[in-house]
Chain A
Amino acid sequence: MAPETRSSVVRIARLVWADRLGRVGLLLLAATFVVAILGPIVLPFDPTLVGTSAKTILAPPSGGHWLGTDELGRDVLRETIQGAQVSLLVGLVATAISMLVGSFIGIAAGYTLGLADDILMRLTDFFLALPTLPLIIALAALFGQSTVILILVIGLTSWPSTARIVRSQVLSLRERQFITRVRSLGATDYRIVTSHILANVLPLIFANTVLVIAGSILSEATLAFLGLGDPVHVSWGTMLHFAFETGATGRGAWWYILPPGIGIVVVVLGFILSGHTLDRILNPRLRNR
């Protein structure tokens, strides 16, 4: 990371921290990351450690299990902590894919214009017009259940909005004076795009990125709840799927329903509050709202 990029990240983080909602968002995110990274070391989850008697199945919180047990008699607290890793991993990697594809298509369309722009934007609008959840359900059901498939399905379906934003930024950048000057000095298109356009577009799509992470985490949770999660790497959505399928709600097992759901809300709210604040900072038109 170039020194000036790093200092602008620090500057932006300070501005977010100065906002009340932004600070709450950053704190929620910090808490989630600490739990996801350190939690499994302190309280490791062993999925094979199932209950041995009917009494230990869906048991309410006790001294041995602070948040009770699940339908197999496993510790809900440890399982929830483990789930944080899967949710964050899927959300972050899927968003990275989405950003790469979206930025590439947006820059290609906005910089080259002409026929390529027409075709790419038609494609973008088409994918923007497809209903998101039915699409990712169909894809996940066709390609099988694994964390890698979930990441690809979510990442490769959420790029269109990014492509649109990037394209409109590139359109306004490409006619700016510093670009035309660099071009007249003999810079190649490749160099202009990689060192001038990209550097100016990335900060602007930063807020969008943070909001896309929130959406990706919600998508993963939803797919997993609908039974399309990875059975090996249990996420919050998978836990809620099994809670629902085994009738935990009807049996009043609040300790199995609340922790994974609160986990999802905390991390998604963290990203949404930070992204909302970033949006206001980076988009000056909104700053006075």
Chain B
Amino acid sequence: MFQLGYLVRKLASLLVTLFAVAVFNFALFRILPGDPIRLLARAGNLNAEAIQRLHELYGLDQPLPIQFLIYLRNIATAQFGTSITYQRPVADILAERMASTIVLLFAATILVVVVGIVLGVVAASRRGSRVDNGAVVGSLIFWSLPTFWTGLILIFVFGVYLHVLPVSGTSLPGVTHTSWIAHAIDVGRHLALPTITLALVDIGQFVLITRSSLVDVLTEDYILTAKAKGLSRRAVIWRHGVRNALLPVVTTTALYVSLIIGGAIQVETVFSWPGMGRLMYDAVLRRDYPILEASFLIFAVTVVLANLLSDLLYQVLDPRVRQA
């Protein structure tokens, strides 16, 4: 499916980018505002023994290149230091939080992709109609909504005013469910508002990209050929149009991942969803630098990997690129 040379080139460039991310993260948290101990001392009281331990962990008595190697070793062995707020290893805390964030991102992405593609296709195939104008105006309005405020409004309407959906956490506190179905329903109800908030805000740009891409494709000659062959309108649009229109959409995957990570930080904050986003918010308020550093690193690596994924996906989907 892939040419070996292409894969090797891609992997090499991935390694270079990951290395650059590591250097950037190192520079950001170690060199710019001072060493980690100064940061920690700014946040709370440290006794001599704790300072000694930190010195050993980060190798602060060593020259900068050695410190960087120690830092790389710490990343490779998932030693992100100890959280100031929780007094526990950052790696353990992150491991607990990651699942909640993945569930939220997964649910919102499915909603954005399915609804976004359908709306974009309907708008493009009825270009200039009332439906199309409505989809464009609606997308621009949703694009301008701040994610956190949309969450507050939904909490207000569905939680405080209508009392139909829970607005905080992942499940009812202190309740032991008799069956896994009851548990799943409980979690699903808690997941509803955060997912809808996240999807609402990011769907606008997705609709606009899908729409303009399909509008372009529908002016191609092979679409005219397909129509002339006597294919139904539905077959022309979905089989010949949408299949090709989704190619440029795939290239925006990395952008979308970056966007939805930003959204998740806000949504988790507003809905007390115990994932990495809420963790980052609490870390900001308490200036818990080890957690901030590790979260930034993980989010950055995720986006870099998403970039690689979208490149590879493009290769699979577009035979022309594969041969070139």
Using CB atoms and an 8 Å cutoff, list the residues of chain A in contact with chain B: 21, 126, 129-135, 137-139, 141-143, 214, 218, 221-222, 225-228, 237, 240, 243-244, 249-250, 252, 254, 257, 261, 264-265, 268-269, 272-273, 276, 286, 289
Contact = CB atoms under 8 A, between A and B. Distances in A.
B54 interface: no
Interface string B240-270: 0000000000000010011101100110011
22 contacts: A129-B254, A130-B24, A132-B259, A138-B28, A138-B292, A141-B292, A143-B33, A218-B144, A218-B146, A222-B148, A225-B148, A226-B265, A226-B284, A227-B281, A228-B284, A243-B152, A249-B160, A250-B160, A252-B156, A257-B152, A268-B146, A289-B215
A131 B262 contact: yes
Given A143-B33, A240-B148, A261 B280 contact: no
B287 interface: yes
A209 to B, nearest CB: 17
B69 interface: no
A137 B148 contact: no
B25 to A, nearest CB: 9
Contact of A131 (B144, B155, B299): B299
A21 B140 contact: yes
B141 A269 contact: yes
B148 A134 contact: no
Given A226-B284, A240-B149, A132 B258 contact: yes
A264 to B, nearest CB: 5
B168 to A, nearest CB: 9
B153 interface: yes
Interface of B: 17, 20-21, 24, 28-29, 32-33, 127, 137, 140-141, 143-149, 152-153, 155-156, 159-161, 212, 215, 254, 257-259, 261-262, 265-266, 269-270, 280-281, 284-285, 287, 289, 292-293, 295-296, 299-300, 302-304, 307
A228 B303 CA distance: 24
A160 to B, nearest CB: 11
Given A138-B292, A240-B152, A264 B146 contact: yes
A13 B284 CA distance: 42
B140 A134 contact: no
Contact of A265 (B32, B144, B159, B269): B144
Majority SS of interface residues in chain A? helix
Tell me which of B140, B212, B266, B293 has the highest count of chain A C-beta atoms within 10 A of its own C-beta.
Answer: B140
B280 A131 contact: no
In order of increasing CB-CB distance, the 3 nearest A-B pairs are A133-B262, A261-B149, A268-B144
Contacts of A240: 148-149, 152
B284 A134 contact: no
Nearest to A270: B144
Contacts of A272: 140, 143-144
Given A129-B304, A218-B146, A286 B156 contact: no
B284 A129 contact: no
Contacts of A143: 33
Contacts of A142: 28-29, 32-33, 289
Contacts of B17: 126, 129
A140 B33 CA distance: 12
Contacts of B215: 289
B22 to A, nearest CB: 12
A124 to B, nearest CB: 12
B137 A21 contact: yes
Contact of B303 (A131, A218, A227, A273): A131
B265 A249 contact: no
A134 B156 contact: no
A286 B209 CA distance: 13
Contacts of B145: 265
Given A143-B33, A240-B152, A134 B144 contact: no
Contacts of B281: 226-227
A226 B296 CA distance: 15
Contacts of B161: 252
Contacts of B21: 130
A131 B149 contact: no
A237 to B, nearest CB: 8
Contact of A226 (B143, B159, B269, B300): B269
B262 A264 contact: no
Contacts of A257: 149, 152-153, 156
Nearest to B161: A252
B296 A134 contact: yes
A226 B140 CA distance: 24
Contacts of A286: 212
B187 to A, nearest CB: 22
Contacts of B212: 286, 289
A137 B265 contact: yes
A277 to B, nearest CB: 10
A132 B254 CA distance: 12
B156 A129 contact: no
B285 A244 contact: no
A221 B293 CA distance: 22
A249 B150 CA distance: 12
B284 A135 contact: no
B153 A252 contact: no
B307 A129 contact: yes
Nearest to B276: A134
A257 B28 CA distance: 35
A256 B72 CA distance: 47
